[in-house]
Structure 1
Amino acid sequence: MANRFRMSEASMGDPPCEATRNSTGHHLTRWLAAWALLVAASFAFGGILRGLGVLPIDHLPPLHAHFRVLTITLLPAAAFGVAAVRVLPGVVARLNFGAALAAAYACALAWTVLLAVSGDGLAAPFTHKEEYLAVLPVVGDDPSRWLAAFTRDLPAYPTHVRGHPPLPVLVLWALNATGLSGPLWAALLVVVVGCSAAVAIALTVRRLSGEDAARHALPYLALAPASVWIATSMDALFAGVGAWGVALLVCGRDGWRRLACGMVAGVLLGALPYLSYGLVPYLLIPAAVAVVVRLPRLTIVAVLAGAAAVTAAFASAGFLWPAGALATHAQWAADPGAARPYLYFLVADLAALALVSGPATTAGLTQGIPYGVRITVLATLAAVLALDVSGVTRGEVERIWIPYTLWIGLAASFAEGPGGGRAGARRRRAAAGRQDRPPFTSDHRWLASQMVTGLLLQGLIASPW
């Protein structure tokens, strides 16, 4: 009787639901068309500007890359991606949450590495003379001496070192000091930490919007198009550090554990401005999360204490962040990148964000997202807009956006909303009366679109990172 009532109720609701789905479908089509137009127009205008000689250092604007065509070498990644799209959602839905996190992390690692080895290899970006490893001989056995003179000697350093605070070099120096030296170990560190951002973000989503939402997000985090640049850009390491800083804000539930997590979160979040000057707006993300979960005052004090400890440590070692930021800005102003046209990249940088986030993210942003996740995504978008408008991110943002893209990409996992779409509606009706079905359902086409976007980016774009 109860089942007949449910089936009857579903049938009675079919006509209005069909009308609603049609309306939603037209709305979604317009947004996806806008996504495609933004990306295509940015490449078209970028090509024109390059032809006119306005963008001499970018061969494929808005990306800092070259065009290429990969063939058979991309097949292992493609085969894995297809299998992951079909299998991973079911796996993370069935396993206990800890095992689901482990499965998603393993998938992210495999996907990221397979994409990298299909091209120039995992370690290739770190072999460039303008990368961080090139300055390690100057650091030598006395990192404190090097740190104290960092701002003064900045003009003599490689491009990436001049464009960042000193902490990335110190991280690689510490790795080298343990005996794990060379480009391959540096690349492995970046990939391992960068892919772990998926786990940290899922833990945060569980606190914000529940375990079901976190499980639903895991496949999209593991197969994010940004994986192309997680292997291998130092910005992926920044993404991992930032994501764990946010996750630790909400992981401690009681007593000393809460204070300890808050202190470690403060250290990680306080380290972000010393990893990249472009991560200062990132702090909007933990601020939004703290508001949503109503972080206790003692935890906030612990976070601030941890962040203050990082600042104090660098200051006592002789590096003052404001002075470093001013010195880096002076180097940037003298670099050819500063001559890139502001108005073009004001729009094109957002097109790069849309491309790296994937079409499913645009679809999700136009539909229903749980409150806690929505506030976090909006805070991330505000941070990106602040950087974009500032004008200091003109090009090369496919890597710069990585720490932000993974949070914005959460929207992709809610592209159809709870049970949305035709396939979702069919499954909802078929599952009527079942008590174990997850509240978030979608077919695999959105996840497949993210995976295919990653394959296309890897197969058609040769990036220095």
Structure 2
Amino acid sequence: MITRRRALAAWAALVAVAFAVGGLLHARGVLRIDHLPPLHALARLPTLALLPAAAFAVVAVPALPRLTAHLPMRAALAAAFGASLAWTVLLAVSGEGLAWPFTHPQEYLAGLGAVGDDPLGWLAGFTRDLPAYPTHVRGHPPLPVLVLWALAAAGLPGPFWAAVLVVVTGCSATVAIGLAVWRVAGEEAARRALPYLALCPAAVWIATTMDAFFAGVGAWGTALLVLGARSRTGRVTLGLGAGLALGALPYLSYGLVPYLVVPLVAAVTAEVPRTTVAACLGGMAGVSALFAAGGFWWPAGVLATHAEWAADPGAARPYLYFLVADLAVLALVTGPAAAAGLAAPGRAGERILPVAALAAVLALDVSGVTRGEVERIWLPYALWIVAAAGRTGAGRAGDRRLLAVQAVAGLLLQGFVRSPW
């Protein structure tokens, strides 16, 4: 059996080797577009602006485990969500600001001009016109842009409101994953996972990338599905809601197809009734039917995006290095406590959802289409893996130190890494 100490040593060794080899490859000109490999980022020095986030961590590390352990479950979930939101925002404002990443000319908002007042016309021509769009639009299906278009149409345009949507949805994944763990592994397991979900290093990117929105949608889709296992009156409604959320995932990011293994494993483990599963499948089919009716054929989108990816400098990144380096980035995003939690003894039910998410990540990693820039791509998967940290038990003093290490990891990443998202 892998001990906690060995798991933490393996975590540190993986990260150290990835940075050492990445630095050597960058110095030799092999990695020209990555200046701080394995991260797609630049190095910087921390400033005093990081102090509010550090002060919050000092208070939250001892207080949050007590709150999530003793409050009524709904209040515990609310406390974890509030802490996640505060932690994420404080980290973001210590750098370039909450909305800055969404002002980048290659981001999704830059593609709204092409949509204009005709989203259906834009959708029908999306695949045909793909080469003319900003980088992030070219690399994804059309739904992220349509979400931001709908936000602007509702009277909330611009980078600030896009950031609010992404941060709130991304942080709400803490609640959704807590609910799913509660139904699959029990209330105690969920309570122990909540502090780690709230203070995870992934918060550094939750405030800066649309992938945090994807994480929230996927987490709520899974949560609604397993909640249907305990509901007698809302089985169809919950299943349909789960289906709409999960069915949207392939239209938010092509890389989220393997994510569907998480709700599948959750449904089997929680023994979700057939009526809920049928409603979920119906909702998923309905999403695909709507996009097809609008003129977007998903397989054609995959082929067009792959062609754009193959012509991008990122496709020239060395496969073998990033096969390992991408896992090192996953280690950074999830933090050392996740590694310790995966190795910790205990009931298999507490480990099954994080392991399902890890298996999905490994499938994407081996495929080779995720070479670098995965600190954002891994977000939807990483939050489920972070839930494994709860297996260490945040209520004990030794394990509370692991929670402190998680917070320190987030502070170090925010302080020393300048991400383009």
How far did 1:373 drift?
2.8
Q: How much does 1:29 deviate?
A: 2.1
1:90 corresponds to which residue?
A: 66
Q: Compared with structure 1, are the counterparts of its residues 416 and 108 closer, same or farther at alpha carbon in structure 2 (3 Å cutoff)?
A: closer
Equivalent in the alignment of 1:14: none
In the alignment, which residue of structure 1 is the partner of 2:170? Answer: 194
Q: Aligned ranges for residues 319-398 of structure 1 at < 5 Å?
A: 319-398=296-375
Q: Distance in 2 between the 1:254 and 1:37 partners?
A: 45
The Cα offsets for residues 427-447 of structure 1, whole Å up to 9 and x where unpaired, read as xxxxxxxxxxxxxxx641011
CA distance in 2, matches of 1:207, 1:320: 36
1:168 is the counterpart of 2:124 = no
Separation in structure 2 between the aligned mates of residue 94 and residue 381 of structure 1, nearest angstrom? 30
Residues 8-407 of structure 1 correspond to what in structure 2 (within 5 A)?
A: 27-252=3-228, 253-407=230-384
Deviation at 1:87, TM superposition (A): 0.8
Larger radius of gyration: 1
Shift in Å at residue 378 of structure 1? 1.4
In the TM superposition, residue 293 of structure 1 has moved relative to its aligned partner by 1.1
User: C-alpha distance in 1, partners of 2:233/2:282?
Assistant: 15
Q: Determine whether 1:453 maps to 2:373.
A: no
- Aligned-pair CA distance for 1:213: 1.3
- 8 Å contact from structure 1 (residues 132, 161) kept in 2: yes
Q: Distance in 2 between matches of 1:233 and 1:318?
A: 27
Whether contact under 8 Å (1:376, 1:407) holds in the other structure is: yes
State how far apart, in whole Å, the 2-side matches of 1:371 and 1:258 are.
26
List per-residue Cα deviations over 1:329-350 (Å, max 9, x = no partner): 0000000000000000000000
Contact kept? 2:91, 2:204, Cα under 8 Å: yes
SS in 2 for 1:53: coil
Unaligned runs of 5+ in 1: 1-23, 425-441
- Conservation of the 8 A alpha-carbon contact between 1:369 and 1:411: no
Alignment check: 8 A CA contact 1:166 1:275 kept: yes
Distance in 2 between residues matched to 1:30 and 1:408, nearest whole Å:
18
Match of 1:463 in 2: 419
In structure 2, distance between residues paired with 1:358 and 1:87: 20
CA RMSD, aligned part only?
1.4
Amino acid at match of 1:455: L
Deviations for 1:203-251, whole angstroms, at most 9, x for unmatched residues?
0111111111111111111001100000110000000000000000111
| C-alpha separation in 1, matches of 2:188 and 2:20 | 41
Give the TM-score normalised by the residue count of structure 2.
Answer: 0.98
* Structure 2 gap segments, 5+ residues each: none
Deviation at 1:256, TM superposition (A): 4.1
**Matched AA of 1:103:** A
AA at the equivalent of 1:66: L
Dislocated runs of 4+, deviation >3 Å: none
Which letter maps to 1:314?
F
SS of structure 1 residue aligned to 2:351: helix
SS in 2 for 1:444: helix
Q: By how many angstroms is 1:374 displaced?
A: 1.3
Q: Write the letter of the residue equivalent to 2:171.
A: C
The aligned amino acid for 2:28 is: L
Q: After superposition, what is the alpha-carbon deviation per residue over 1:370-420, rounded to whole angstroms, capped at 9, x for unaligned?
A: 322312111111100000000000000001000000000111111269x8x
Task: Say which SS state the counterpart of residue 200 (structure 2) adopts.
Answer: coil
* CA distance, structure 2, for counterparts of residue 244 and residue 416 of structure 1: 24
Q: CA shift at 1:288, angstroms? A: 0.4
Inter-partner Cα distance in structure 1 for 2:273 and 2:200: 33
Residue of structure 2 equivalent to 1:412: 389
Q: Percent identity?
A: 68
Whether the 8 Å contact between 1:361 and 1:411 is mirrored in structure 2 is: yes
Listed one character per residue, the Cα deviations across residues 262-318 of structure 1 (whole Å, up to 9, x for unaligned) are 011011000000000000000000010011011211111111000000000000000
CA contact (8 A) 2:101 2:420 kept: yes
| Distance in structure 2 (CA, Å) of the matches to 1:162 and 1:299 | 35
TM-score (norm 1): 0.88
Deviations 1:348-371 (A, max 9, x none): 000110111111111111112432
- 1:380, 1:404 within 8 Å by CA — same for their partners in 2? yes
Q: What secondary structure sits across from 2:65 in the alignment?
A: helix
Task: Measure, in 1, the Cα distance between the counterparts of 2:260 and 2:346.
Answer: 22
Secondary structure, in 3 states, of the residue corresponding to 1:232? coil
Aligned-partner residue type, residue 401 of structure 2: R
What residue identity is the alignment partner of 2:174? A
Partners of 1:383 and 1:34 lie apart in 2 by 21
CA distance in 1, matches of 2:399, 2:33: 42
Matched to 2:343, the amino acid is T
SS at match of 1:150: coil
How far, CA to CA, are the matches of 2:5 and 2:189 in structure 1? Answer: 25
Secondary structure at the counterpart of residue 365 of structure 1: helix
